């Protein structure tokens, strides 16, 4: 009887380690670099979160990027960004949101 319990315990541990995992590991942090290579200055808004509706995600802020400057955002979840539609005209209109549910590379560069 003792031999059966030992074998049963052994078999249970093998099955436990050999079975596929049902959980997914958390996303690793990545860096999104937003580049302004076009306008003298441009307003950019960034939000992070899991919602597909970017407007409900947490605001990281709005920044003014000068030409040649980069806004580097470190994220471990979804990220959304947009820029003013007509940089410098003061209309307050924004482009539609661009987003990534997760970054595909450790560092991603995006031109605005």
Beta-carbon contacts of residue 86 (< 8 Å; ≥ 6 apart) = 93
Q: What is the CATH number of the domain that holds 106?
A: 2.60.40
pLDDT per residue over 52-65, tens digit each? 999 999 999 999 99
95 domain residue, yes or no: yes
71 domain residue, yes or no: yes
- Domain extent for 107: 28-111
3 domain residue, yes or no: no
92 domain residue, yes or no: yes
76 domain residue, yes or no: yes
pLDDT per residue over 25-49, tens digit each? 455 689 999 999 999 999 999 999 9
Q: Which residues pair with 99 in a beta bridge?
A: 80
pLDDT of residue 25: 46
3-class secondary structure, 17: helix
> Using only C-alpha atoms, what is the Rg of the chain?
23
- Total number of domains constituting the chain: 1
């Amino acid at each position: 009887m003792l031999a059966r319990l030992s074998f049963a315990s052994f078999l249970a541990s093998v099955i436990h380690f050999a079975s596929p995992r049902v959980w997914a590991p958390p996303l690793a942090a990545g860096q999104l670099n937003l580049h302004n290579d076009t306008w003298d200055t441009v307003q950019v808004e960034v939000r992070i979160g899991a919602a597909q509706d970017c407007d409900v995600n947490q605001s990281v802020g709005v920044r003014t990027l000068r030409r040649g400057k980069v806004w580097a955002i470190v994220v471990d979840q979804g990220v959304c960004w947009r820029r003013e539609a007509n940089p410098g005209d003061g209309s307050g209109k924004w482009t539609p949101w661009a987003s990534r549910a997760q970054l595909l590379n450790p560092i991603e560069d995006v031109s605005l």
